[in-house]
Structure 1
């Protein structure tokens, strides 16, 4: 009898796990899909699929259209289907991933654990902002064979998971704008909203505005729509196409605040609609005698973000500062060889120049003054100083001293420069900082740390300034970075030692990276400068080259010089 029972038990175990492959090969989940509307019946998974395919199908169904993640729920058993309450956070994984059985034995042959093999590239947090995080996927999903012989998931993860291509297909990036009092301009906070239905986009975006800036910008910008301001109703479209944004809680608000709120709303909604925008406050026009708005009716808040056309940019070459326009040296010791210049930065208005000069004895020092004149030594020196960068709206000059601390120089009414501290501990802990560049709105800095690209927000003023929320961008694909600059407020351009992608464009949150054409460039590229509306200028082993778009072949700069390092004002 014991032998018979043992034989029966073995048969049960074999039957419970029969036809289940031990491992699936990594696959690219296709972005092509037939979605269901919220009222459609969601079909069950394909009959008799194995647990590995079931888990891949579950991940692929996460972002299918439908209410309450109905397509993904179809992969769960009845109990989990009713109980699953996933968080709002979304983890985005690489398109190529595999599923394998957990090697730990399970006491029940009808229950298995599937591990997802691949890499997370980041998460969409509670505020709909992308947070880069390149780590091995840590996803374990338990599946169980049901009474009808079909495998179903019994413990779905608390967070949603989706592939990179599915995310790109279903979400759209929107720069949600917030106000910077420091530079008197608006700062884009890159957020991601569900793209369909398109008619609901404006309402979803306005809700993000009211909820305030993401964690990466909190403390750097002002939320003009903070409490007690609320959205009275969903954004709606009138018969003539006009969008109506109805607010409450603005009683007694000053005219200048009302105009800034109107600009914040219009600048943000221009990315999701071309319609007129009617902004109401407590039932009346937000701004008296101006109920309807279009983006071209706003003041030029971004006028101070870009250098004037008559400022072509400069370059350092052979220890001197020269013009990018005609190659002529600038006036004064910076151009005539009076200083042995290592690097330099021109103020956004073009009137001032900061230079790092060789002082002898293996030391370098910082000088700042009016362009074309003697530049005062400000008493900041070290073994290395990074190329200076001007902080917008303040007149401050920052540089990294010996890759380990930030020198912040502030000028007083007597034109004397004083060093103030910067709390940069969070960034400095990441390693040696070789480059530091202010965004043109002053809300962020980009930094090259241990040859990788980082971004941090700038908070505070006066004696208390800090760099916070440092984030590493594209850590897996972007390495050997040597220089960086701001192509736009939410876009960076970086130069690398790589021969395959020497120049790349990266979104400020690291969600996307694109390589520029490498034609005509001679390794290695060692410098880059960029500005809104200006061609990108890079420096390689042979000289200077320019391009404006990703696919464009690099052209020789008009007055190219070998070993030159270019820089635009700012």
Structure 2
């Protein structure tokens, strides 16, 4: 599974690959290699059962250069924790200089190899070729990539007369199918640094770890190393600088009571109870991506217990979107009223919301309900006016809080979105002055959000529950892309500033995004088209990777879609069939024929 779950309970079954070994497969360098300069792909290893660990064979005596290169590339896709077998294909000096953890280059297919010309009898070189699709950096952060891949591998005879690789690129390289077999996405969790009140919001930071090489210990080390560069400016960690696992700790595992003890080094020795409980909360949120087998964390340093925290107490320390309660699914009915159905209810009977928006006096085109479900924002049917109204009986609609000057509906307001701090976001698409706007607590003078990296027109806005990340559908020419940006808040109370920075694509394979919604702490559901393809619905990660697991059931004519970060609630959509929702059996079911703009809070 990927970093976000497909549904069901918050605590999910343990990843079998992480802790059990049912067998060992010896991988004998089976990819064939050419003796001449022709190019041939090194076939990606077939997908293996997740409980089977794959190890490579060392080089055979008097192996020829093509076999050395082939065996080395195969060894890179094995489950050897320290690449011990892969290093046997290198000279001693090359092994010492090679850092496989520096990066992982992912190609569309396994790397092709071509032997280059060489005048020296004992010196040969091969060129690795392919098409790049992504890269995982030294922080284990995934980033989509593109373009040709070319890297030189040089061979020479060692002191015993055996061919070995003496020069090679840093990091590892493999095909996409091997990457999917060898790695899995895990959310690390840090805290939003700009939380204004109450418990801090936990922010997911997805990384890729090797699936069958003690992923629990890998993930904890990655958490202690701190957030990835992209997220770092707007989050904080509770672990003191320099915190690492204690000396001699090579592996972590829960005991038979589902308790995990984490020994830390001296950098954590002086933390107080409150800070320690935040550290334990980060660990529990993070490790529950991996296993159900942890219900309590105990932190120790220098043989002394620092604190113990159980899973049921994490909610008092920090908020996590995927465990938040959602009361209702909302939509606009045929009478232009904002109506609601209890979240998760099989009922198809909706009731008007309390207050002016439930009375239908103003025709509406889109809505957003605050995350505490006390207030709603609605755009009038022509897209020109934005209203904010309390969801209490007797409330009046009042005057619009914003008005767009766009000359047509498609050049006026997008649908609005609320963040976890109670602020309202919306984009004005007026060509004469396109803007991304923020209304503090949904009222007052709008703050124009800085978007220095934006290249295109914002067509849709969805803020993550953590208030640190924002998803934007951006149109440029005929293409509509899904971009994820980092929200940075600055200035002071008198002159606050808000920026959306370092926009990056979450859907590099799609060129026409129709609808999207957050569907997990680091996952979204999107509706779009590939080049020359038909409309499709799929899950994507914020880093642009595709999570494991099936896509949602197909649905035609989707215009809008909504999901929640929390578990167990059905996805809902506005399609050619009206308002529909994804039932527990994995099939779409009609709620009402006449309705639009379905939304969960957010």
Deviation at 1:224, TM superposition (A): 0.6
1:44 is matched with: 59
1:432 matches 2:457 = yes
1:222 matches 2:239 = no
Q: How far apart, in 1, do the equivalents of 2:168 and 2:273 lie?
A: 51
* Contact 1:495/1:504 (<8 A) preserved: yes
1:30 is matched with: 46
Of residues 498, 503, 509, the one that matches 2:537 is: 503
1:167 matches 2:194 = no
1:423 is matched with: 450
Q: How far apart, in 1, do the equivalents of 2:153 and 2:336 lie?
A: 61
1:130 is matched with: 142
1:416/1:302 Cα in 2 relative to 1: closer, same or farther (>3 Å)? closer
The answer for unaligned runs of 5 or more in structure 1 is 1-17
The residue correspondences of 1:35-434 to structure 2 (distance < 5 A) are 35-36=54-55, 43-44=58-59, 51=66, 55-66=69-80, 68-76=82-90, 80-81=94-95, 83-86=97-100, 88-100=102-114, 114-143=126-155, 153-181=165-193, 182=195, 184-198=200-214, 201-227=215-241, 229-233=243-247, 234=249, 242-247=259-264, 248-249=266-267, 253-272=271-290, 274-275=293-294, 276-281=296-301, 283-287=303-307, 291=308, 293-299=309-315, 301-302=318-319, 308-315=325-332, 320-324=337-341, 326-330=349-353, 334-358=357-381, 364-371=384-391, 373-381=396-404, 382=406, 383-402=411-430, 404-411=434-441, 416-426=443-453, 428-429=454-455, 431-434=456-459
1:197/1:311 Cα in 2 relative to 1: closer, same or farther (>3 Å)? closer
2:570 is matched with: 535
The residue correspondences of 1:6-17 to structure 2 (distance < 5 A) are none
Deviation at 1:44, TM superposition (A): 1.0
* Contact 1:249/1:282 (<8 A) preserved: no
CA RMSD between the two structures? 3.7
* Contact 1:86/1:158 (<8 A) preserved: yes
Q: How far apart, in 2, do the equivalents of 1:246 and 1:85 lie?
A: 27
Deviation at 1:503, TM superposition (A): 1.5
The residue correspondences of 1:455-474 to structure 2 (distance < 5 A) are 455-461=484-490, 463-474=496-507
Q: How far apart, in 1, do the equivalents of 2:58 and 2:325 lie?
A: 59
Q: How far apart, in 2, do the equivalents of 1:433 and 1:465 lie?
A: 17
1:397/1:271 Cα in 2 relative to 1: closer, same or farther (>3 Å)? closer
Structure number with higher relative contact order (C-alpha < 8 Å, ≥ 6 residues apart) = 2
2:22 is matched with: none
Which of these two proteins has the greater Rg computed from alpha carbons?
1
* Contact 1:21/1:50 (<8 A) preserved: no
Q: How far apart, in 2, do the equivalents of 1:116 and 1:402 lie?
A: 49
1:454/1:56 Cα in 2 relative to 1: closer, same or farther (>3 Å)? farther
Q: How far apart, in 1, do the equivalents of 2:334 and 2:275 lie?
A: 47
1:543/1:250 Cα in 2 relative to 1: closer, same or farther (>3 Å)? same
Deviation at 1:492, TM superposition (A): 0.8
The answer for unaligned runs of 5 or more in structure 2 is 1-33, 342-347
Deviation at 1:213, TM superposition (A): 0.9
Q: How far apart, in 2, do the equivalents of 1:467 and 1:446 lie?
A: 10
1:548/1:294 Cα in 2 relative to 1: closer, same or farther (>3 Å)? farther
Larger deviation, residues 160-169 vs 313-322: 313-322
1:48/1:184 Cα in 2 relative to 1: closer, same or farther (>3 Å)? closer
Deviation at 1:544, TM superposition (A): 2.3
Deviation at 1:402, TM superposition (A): 4.1
Deviation at 1:548, TM superposition (A): 5.3
2:597 is matched with: 565
Q: How far apart, in 1, do the equivalents of 2:270 and 2:153 lie?
A: 55
Q: How far apart, in 1, do the equivalents of 2:218 and 2:95 lie?
A: 27
Q: How far apart, in 2, do the equivalents of 1:86 and 1:331 lie?
A: 59
Q: How far apart, in 2, do the equivalents of 1:268 and 1:327 lie?
A: 37
Deviation at 1:493, TM superposition (A): 0.7
Larger deviation, residues 24-33 vs 85-94: 24-33
- Superposed CA deviations along residues 236-259 of structure 1, whole A, max 9, x for unmatched, are 569767532234445664543232
TM-score by length of 1: 0.80
- Superposed CA deviations along residues 9-34 of structure 1, whole A, max 9, x for unmatched, are xxxxxxxxx95252325744434597
Q: How far apart, in 2, do the equivalents of 1:307 and 1:83 lie?
A: 48
Of residues 451, 458, 481, the one that matches 1:452 is: 481
Deviation at 1:180, TM superposition (A): 2.4
Secondary structure class of the residue paired with 1:258: helix
1:455/1:56 Cα in 2 relative to 1: closer, same or farther (>3 Å)? farther
